[in-house]
Structure 1
Amino acid sequence: MSAAMRDRTLALAGLLQATSMVRQVATTGETENGFLTASIESVFRLEAETPEAVYGGAGGVGRGLRGLVQQIEGGADPAPARLAFTVLQVERRFSAQPRMMDTIARGIREIDRQREHWGPVHPTVLARLGELYSANISTLRPRVLVQGNPTYLAQPEVVAEIRAVLLAALRSAVLWRQLGGTYWDVLFSRRAIAQAARDWLRQSP
């Protein structure tokens, strides 16, 4: 298996992990703090040297790697995969707008100071990331429509967290495209992706 496919699988796992957490937060109001931390941290690692470094190691996207295998082999909730495909469509429009990309990068650098002070999943950090997503990415089409429990979706802090995690999903989608990932990979390289995900899982703690 090529190193490129292994790297793309890691980015795809990052995307699926983020969308699965969006789904979980929207329906239950919470998600695993460790994976949430890894996904949010990936937003701030714009200059990482390797895909592994983006997530702080393959273990940072363990949930996404397991989710990839489950999606490919069947039996998994299809909602995170549908969200992931929508985010990939949004990424193509985002990457075609250099001005918006600069705005997002500048905003992330500003929020990074608060992340260093409070940590990546502090409510203030998540709120600011959510605002950055809402003011920019939410204007792109297709809209990413998140379904869940109305009780949680009516809570501003939950909505902010969902938007922050969607920004993490977009970051992984950008990485996927930068590594040469295409829709054809998802359609015709599913077996290779599942094998790469298993390989990463065996290597990660």
Structure 2
Amino acid sequence: MTNDLRGQTIALAGVMQSAILVDRLAKQQQYSEAAAHGLVYSIFETDPQNIESVYDGLSNLKVGFQALGNPRNLPKDAMVYFTNMLKLQKRLREHSSYLNIMGSGIENVKGRLVHFPMMHDNIQMALADLYTQTISKLSPRIYVKGDPSVAMTESHAAKIRTLLLAGVRSGILWHQAGGTTWNRIMQYHKIMAEASRLTYEIE
């Protein structure tokens, strides 16, 4: 396992973008399908050639790169989701039974892509159910703060769980690129600089 700063930054941008989109949907009922596309795509990309291809193009992580490059004004709750998703990827890797459920579940949902586009509610709800069966049973539980009516709307709740699933998936990619809590803290400024460079690269 190598300490790949570029790979770690790309994966962390995926976690960060998931956290930000969850916060926006929960509080403001804002959902950008374009911003969510690369995250949902990453769930199905289980055997990528490289980390750049996981998100169907780095331009799909623009929100995450911008936030990593300039994190000062990020919402507090989004930062909590970000931190907890990184903790949950470790917990998930420790539970082989949940990983098996996740792997077979993703393959089953892939079969539906013949009939439904990837961002269809049917796909989102199937992925949300997979999150409920696995990650939601682990600690720390992620409690999403926001407008209660969002949680009561089935399609919104499914989108939030799908985004959380994608965030944990990105967290696993971060680990595979050599990411640890220690080097994330020690390389904080390097990650910020790399995120800013990647933002410039895709603009």
* TM-score for the superposition, normalised by structure 2: 0.95
- Per the alignment, residue 189 of structure 2 pairs with 191
Amino acid at match of 2:62: G
Unaligned runs of 5+ in 2: none
On the 8 A contact 1:28/1:152 being kept in 2, the answer is: no
Q: Does 1:83 align with 2:87?
A: no
Q: Deviating runs (4+, > 6 A) in structure 1? A: none
On the 8 A contact 2:3/2:178 being kept in 1, the answer is: no
- Per the alignment, residue 109 of structure 1 pairs with 107
3-state SS of 2:73 partner: coil
* 1:129, distance to aligned residue in structure 2 (A): 0.3
Give me the identity figure in percent. 25
**2: distance between equivalents of 1:186 and 1:169?**
16
**2: distance between equivalents of 1:35 and 1:204?**
14
**1: distance between equivalents of 2:55 and 2:114?**
17
Amino acid at match of 2:8: R
* TM-score for the superposition, normalised by structure 1: 0.94
On the 8 A contact 1:48/1:54 being kept in 2, the answer is: yes
**2: distance between equivalents of 1:198 and 1:116?**
37
Unaligned runs of 5+ in 1: none
C-alpha change, 1:116 and 1:42, in structure 2 (3 Å) is farther
1:126-155, Cα deviation, whole Å (9 max, x unpaired): 000001101111111110111011121211
**1: distance between equivalents of 2:183 and 2:200?**
22
**2: distance between equivalents of 1:99 and 1:84?**
24
The total of aligned residue pairs comes to 202
- Per the alignment, residue 57 of structure 2 pairs with 57
Amino acid at match of 1:159: A
Q: CA RMSD in A?
A: 1.4
